[in-house]
Amino acid sequence: AEAFVRALYVAPPTASPDPAAAAVSPGRDPLYSRTLNALIGVDFREAQSRDEVPYLNYDPICACQDIDGFALKTVTMTPDGPQAATAEVVFTNHGRERRQTLKLVKEGPMWRIADIIDDKGKSLHDDLMAIAEKAEN
């Protein structure tokens, strides 16, 4: 799990635009769990249906839209069982130190991001779930 997390922060997706990454439609990113991908897809479709910008209009891995002087400082792993783990991540971007928590889940042989919790305790999963719950009504 730690190698997966460290690889995420070696070169965050927005650091070097990858034409293949641009082709990944919202809700189908192999870095995210099935559940988080489903929620991202609902967010995107709901926003599209109202001609609005999706809630997730930034790169949640770096909590940013662009990168300048990005550097991973620390990763602290805590196993949450054989199929789950928590990673406490500290990094700098634009000269500012940021902290976030990644909740990881193992799907098949691969680790995936199930949730990203920012330094204020705000859960991406929960925010997207609230959008999905409104969409059902």
Q: How many domains does the chain have?
A: 1
Distance CA 44, CA 107 (A): 23
User: What's the domain range around 63?
Assistant: 2-136
Order of strands, edge to edge, in the sheet holding 84-93? 71-79, 84-93, 96-107, 110-118
Specify whether the CB–CB gap between 85 and 104 falls below 8 A. Answer: yes
Q: What is this structure's pTM?
A: 0.88
Distance of CA 31 to the CA centre of its chain: 8
CATH assignment of the domain containing 68: 3.10.450
Please name which of 97, 71, 101 lies closest in space to residue 11, comparing C-alpha atoms: 71
pLDDT tens track for 11-69: 655 544 555 555 678 888 999 999 999 999 999 999 999 999 999 999 999 988 888 88
